[in-house]
Amino acid sequence: MGKLGYNDTPMLRDSPYCVHDDRRPAPTVVTSGSEHGPPSDAVVLFDGTDLSGWQSVKGGDAEWKVVDSYMEVEPKTGDIVSVERFGDVQYHLEFACPAAVKGDSQGRGNSGVFLMGLYEIQVLDGYDNPTYADGITASVYGEYPPLVNACRPPGEWQTYDIFWTAPRFSGVDLVSPAYLTLVHNGVLVHHHIEIMGPTGHRNVYRYEAHPPAGPLKLQDHGDLVRFRNIWARPLKGYDEA
C-alpha cells in the first residue's frame, strides 16, 4: 500500500489537520438508496406501514389514515409531529395533493412541512393555481417564494429534498439563524437562504430560543393531502465522530 497522506504540509484554516493529512478520519461508508429508498444511514420516519413514528400535536397517537403505503390527512384531527427530533438534517419526503381540484389559491391542496415544528415549507396544489408568491408550493411561508414553480399536476406524487441548518442560540440570544436549501421535484428552488424566523400568518415573527433539536411537523389544513417515503439524515460537521 502506498503512502496514505502527509503530515508536513500547510495547516488548513480553522482545522487541526494539514493538507492531505494522513491522520484525518476517512468518511463513513454509506450505501445510497434506490430510487424510492433511503440511504443506509437514514432514520426512516414513515415507511408506509403505520404511524408509530408520529404523534398528535395535541398529545397521544397520530390519527391520520394509512392506506396503500401512504398517510393521508384526516381533517380536524390536527397536525402530527415525528417522535424523533433533529437539528441540522437532510429530509426527504413525497406528497400528493388531491387529484380532484376543489377551491383555489390557499384553499386548494393545502398542508405544510414544519422544520423543528416551527419553520414552514408550504405544501399546496400550486399547478395552474395563482396565489400570493410567498404562499405557493415550496415557498418558505410568508418569507420567500421559490425560485421557480416546479409543481406537478394535482394527484401526482412530488418530492421535497430539504437541507436544513438549525439556528443557534446562546441563552435567549440568537447566535446564528437557520439556513435552508430545498429541491422540489429535482429542481433547486431555495439555495442556502437565511430564515427570518418562525412561521406565522400575516405577520413577521422573531426568533425565540428553543432546543437544538425539534420534530418534523406535518400540517392538517383540512385538505386530503398524502405523504409517503419520509426519512431523515442527521448532519454532522467535517471530522465529527
Q: What is the DSSP track for 177-236?
A: --EEEEEETTEEEEEEEEP-SS--SSS--------S-B--EE---SS--EEEEEEEEE--
- Which residues make beta-bridge pairs with 161? 92, 183
DSSP string, 4-45: --BSSSPBPTTSS-BTTBTTSPPPPP-PPP-TTS--TT-EEE
pLDDT band at 239 (very low <50, low <70, confident <90, very high): low
Which domains are assigned to the chain? 1-29 (no CATH), 43-234 (2.60.120.560)
Phi/psi at 181 (nearest 5 deg)? Answer: -120, 135
pLDDT in tens, 9-44: 999 999 999 999 999 998 888 888 777 689 989 999
Tell me the whole-structure pTM to 2 decimals: 0.92
What average pLDDT score do residues 90-111 get?
96
How does residue 240 score in pLDDT terms, banded at 50, 70 and 90? Answer: low
Task: Write out pLDDT tens, residues 36-85.
Answer: 689 989 999 999 999 999 999 999 999 999 999 999 999 999 999 999 99
Q: What is the DSSP letter of 144?
A: B
- In angstroms, the CA 171 to CA 214 distance is 17
Tens of pLDDT along 142-173? 999 999 999 999 999 999 999 999 999 999 99
Q: Which of 183, 179, 189 is nearest to 145 (CA)?
A: 189
Element (H, E) at 81: strand 80-82
The predicted structure's pLDDT at residue 16: 94
